[in-house]
Amino acid sequence: MTIINDRLLKALRLEPVDRPPVWLMRQAGRYLPEYLQVRAEAGSFMDLCRNAELASEVAMQPLRRYPLDASILFSDILTIPDAMGLGLQFVSGEGPVFERPVKTLRDIEKLPSPDVHDELGYVMDVVRAMRVKIGQDLPIIGFSGSPWTLACYMLEGQGTRDFATARSWLWRAPQALQQLLDKLVITVTDYLAAQAEAGVDVLMLFDTWGGLLSEAHYRKFSLQPMANIIAQLKSRHGCSLPVILFSKGCHTQIDEMLKSGCAGLGVDWRISIDAALRQAGGRVAVQGNLDPTALLAEPAAIRQIATEQFAAAVSQPGFIFNLGHGIMPQVPPDNVSCLLDTVHALSARQ
C-alpha cells in the first residue's frame, strides 16, 4: 500500500524530499487538553492503552491540530514487562511501578516469554484502529523500549534518576543481566514484527537509559541487543521496515550505532544536529534534536531556535525534524504550533 505523505519514508531511505519531514516524540499526550479528557474517560493510563478506540483517538489528536508528517502508536514502553507478569501500575506522583520486580537470577529464569499476539494483542488492535482512521494519508510509527531500558525498570521496580540497583547488575551479575537481555531481545523482536504485521510503516527503539552506561557497557548491554533485534527482524521475520534507533545521551557512540543496521538515528540536544549529520555521513537518516525545554520559551525565541536548527540541517540528506526527547506535559499547545508553523514557513522558502 502506498502512503500519500511519504516524506518520512523517503528521508529514511535517504531519498530527496520536497521538505524535511516533521513529527514530535510524545506528540500525543498530557500537554493537550483533549488528551486529558480522554484519559479521564478511560479510567487509568493502562486502561487507555488497552482501549483501541480511545488510544487511536489520542493518536489522532495531534494530527488534527498540527501539520505533522507521521503518527506514532499510542502505547507505553513498559507493556512487555507487564506482559511478563511483573504487575505494572502507574502511581500518581511516582510514575510506573512494578509489583514484582526482578531481584534474582531465579526471577529471570522464571520470566515467561509472552505470546505477543495474545498478551499484547491490544497493542496491535490500536495499530489497526489507527490505520482505519488515518487511512493511507500518513505513515504510522510503531515502537518498543530497548532491552536495556526495559531491564532498568524491571530490575529497579520503578523509574529513578540513576537506576543504581539496575546498574549494579553490570558489576555483580553481568551474566544474569545478559540472560535477561537475551530474553527481552526475543520478545521485543516478536513485538515489533507483530506491529509491522498489524500495519505500522516504521519501527523505533527507545533506548531512554543508554546514556547511563559507560561506552563499553553501552556497546555490550544496550547497543548489541538492539542490533540483534534489527538483524532478527530481517532474518527471523522477513521484516524490511526501516528502524529508527534512539539512544538518549549516547552521541559519543554514533559511529558504533551506525553499525547496528538501523535506517535512522535519533539524537538528543547534547550534540548539534549538523555535527550529527556530518558524523552519519549520509549513511543513515538523522532525527532530532531540539531540546524539549525550548518549547517553554516565548514564541519569538522558539522561532529563532527553530530557524537556527533548520538552517544547520536542511541541506543534508535524511534530516528528520524532531525533538531530542518527548514533549513535556507543561508545554502550551500554542508553542507547538509556533514551532511547526516556523518549520513549515522555513521549508516553503527553500
Q: Let me know: does 27 contact 37? Beta carbons within 8 Å.
A: no
DSSP lists the bridge partners of residue 103 as: none
DSSP 257-315: HTTS--SEEE--TTS-HHHHHHHHTTSSEEEEEE-GGGGGS-HHHHHHHHHHHHHHHTT
Pairwise CA distance, residues 148 & 162, whole Å: 14
Task: Please name the residue ranges forming H helices in the chain.
Answer: 7-12, 33-42, 45-50, 52-65, 79-81, 105-110, 121-134, 147-156, 164-172, 174-198, 215-217, 224-235, 254-257, 273-280, 299-313, 333-348
Read off the amino acid at residue 17. V
Task: List the grid coordinates of 311.
Answer: 538552517
The SS3 of residue 71 is: strand
Residues with a known catalytic role? 26, 30, 39, 76, 153
Distance, in Å, from the CA atom of 265 to the CA atom of 14, rounded to the nearest integer, reads: 12
Q: Which of 50, 49, 74, 52 is nearest to 61 (CA)?
A: 74
Task: Determine the Cα–Cα distance for residues 36 and 128; give it in Å rounded to an integer.
Answer: 23
Block residue for cell numbers 549520509: 282
3-state secondary structure of 322: strand
CA distances from 209 to 42, 102, 152, 173, 249 (A): 29, 18, 8, 19, 8
Distance CA 20, CA 232 (A): 30
Distance separating alpha carbons of residues 174 and 176, to the nearest angstrom: 5
